[in-house]
Amino acid sequence: MYDCIIVGAGPAGGTAAYHLAKLGRSVLLLEKESLPRYKPCGGGVSPVIAQWFDFDFSPAISIKADTIRCTWKMGEPVEAELNTPEPVWMVRREIFDHYLVQQAQKQGAELRDHTEVTGIEFKTDHWQVNTANGPVTGRYLIAADGAKGSMAKWLGFKERKRRLAGALEAEAQAKVENGNIAHFEFGLVKNGYLWNFPKADGYSIGVGTFIGGQPQDFKSIVSEYGNLFGVDLKICKQYGHALCLWNGNQKLHTENAVLAGEAACVVDPFTAEGIRPSIFSGMLAAGAIDKALAGVSNALDDYSVAINEQWGSDMAWAQKLAGAFYHFPRIGYKVGVSRPSAVQIMGKILCGQLHYGDVAGRALKRLVPGLG
């Protein structure tokens, strides 16, 4: 009988496993893929996450980007250095996620990868988790199996306010010019943006839409954008995936179990940043499970409250900004992006130096007169 079973070895699951094991709890981490495994993701990580761990992430960082460059329909460029204490980390998820899990293993967490969960059953005071390799039992459960995972449904979270968005990404092996620049393109796609995040040995180029709308030809859009960097994305493997955006406060706990990461719909609805909020939720989930194991009766309730207050309150501002900006992107780019100071603010939000709540009121005032 484990103290906690965690399903999913992404940033949320790896973080929860690390912190729980460090607290002396017995932890089993289940992952259906074999690690390290490829994960389509731009791979931009806020360096603010370093404060939540006591080890060095350098081995898992491919490159650091200290400059942001934005364009409108591949023209009207605006570029600015971040001027933050630490640049944005650019990572490859197969390396980053596995490194995080390895740190958890060093603390005593047990990993069983290539182990698919096929169902769960609550047994009076603990969970039985059925896997392709047989059942395992744990007193508590953390569901961290991502946007497409089944755990939330199996745990009974049928009424969650899920807001799915779509993304398509391609990994291009290339000689990277100006590898310290993260690129954002706002005019070629409706209701979203394109990105090009440099890595040591190539680019992660992708496109996402965040407020719905008519279907778009993502492949053609991404290919056109790739040409700007001398990359033929038609010969690169492309990956489509769903994103679970934050869509308002919600209950994230049930009997002896919590949701974390994209299973908890924590993705930023404006930038689609998912790694930092997933790690944050994994850390809070570990703390909540530890307290519950120690006999604190309302520990899991407090987890839902903490996520809603400490992450969700700022995401409410992000959602308002996304609604205004992506519905009227030309105006949004003109009044909200096309100044280096605005790009620096965007960078500070990505680096965790600023919150949306610090700037959204002023930004919306700039957007709304522009709409008039």
Give pLDDT, residue 162: 64
Whether the Cβ atoms of residue 317 and residue 362 lie closer than 8 Å to each other: no
Rounded Cα distance between 100 and 85, Å, is: 23
Give pLDDT, residue 31: 98
Rounded Cα distance between 346 and 66, Å, is: 12
Average pLDDT over residues 271-296: 97
29-38, 60-69, 346-355: which has the minimum mean pLDDT?
346-355
User: Which has more confidence, 301 or 215?
Assistant: 301
Average pLDDT over residues 187-212: 89
Which residues, 6 or more positions from 40, have their beta carbon under 8 angstroms from its beta carbon?
Answer: 93, 167, 169, 171, 206, 239, 240, 241
Q: Residue 327 pLDDT more than 70? A: yes
Tell me the pLDDT of the chain averaged across its residues. 91
Go through the domains of the chain in sequence order and give each one's CATH number.
2-62+91-162+245-319 (3.50.50.60)
318: region left, alpha or beta (phi > 0 left; psi from -120 to 50 alpha): alpha
Please give the structure tokens belonging to residue 209. Answer: 């839409």
At residue 25 the predicted structure's pLDDT band, cuts being 50, 70 and 90, is very high
For the chain, what is the radius of gyration of the CA atoms? 20
Please give the structure tokens belonging to residue 323. Answer: 């609604």
369 exposure class (CB count in 10 Å sphere: 0-12, 13-18, 19+): exposed
Give pLDDT, residue 217: 87
| b/e 150-168 (16+ beta carbons within 10 angstroms → b) | bbbebbebeebeebebbbb
Average pLDDT over residues 155-178: 74
At residue 161 the predicted structure's pLDDT band, cuts being 50, 70 and 90, is low
At residue 164 the predicted structure's pLDDT band, cuts being 50, 70 and 90, is low
Nearest to 107 by CA among 30, 15, 12: 15
Rounded Cα distance between 14 and 17, Å, is: 5
Give pLDDT, residue 48: 96
177: region left, alpha or beta (phi > 0 left; psi from -120 to 50 alpha): beta
CA 229 to chain centre: 25
Rounded Cα distance between 334 and 147, Å, is: 33
Beta strands 75-81 and 88-90 are: unpaired
At residue 372 the predicted structure's pLDDT band, cuts being 50, 70 and 90, is very low
Average pLDDT over residues 297-323: 95
Give pLDDT, residue 201: 85
Q: Residue 371 pLDDT more than 50? A: no
Give pLDDT, residue 356: 93
Average pLDDT over residues 70-95: 93
Whether the Cβ atoms of residue 174 and residue 143 lie closer than 8 Å to each other: no
Give pLDDT, residue 169: 82
Percentage, residues of the chain above pLDDT 70: 95
Average pLDDT over residues 290-316: 97
pTM of the entire predicted model: 0.94
DSSP, residue by residue, 183-240: EEE-SSSTTEEEEEEEETTEEEEEEEESS--S---HHHHHHHHHHTTT--GGGS-EEE
Instruction: Identify the helix (H) or strand (E) that includes residue 166.
Output: strand 163-173
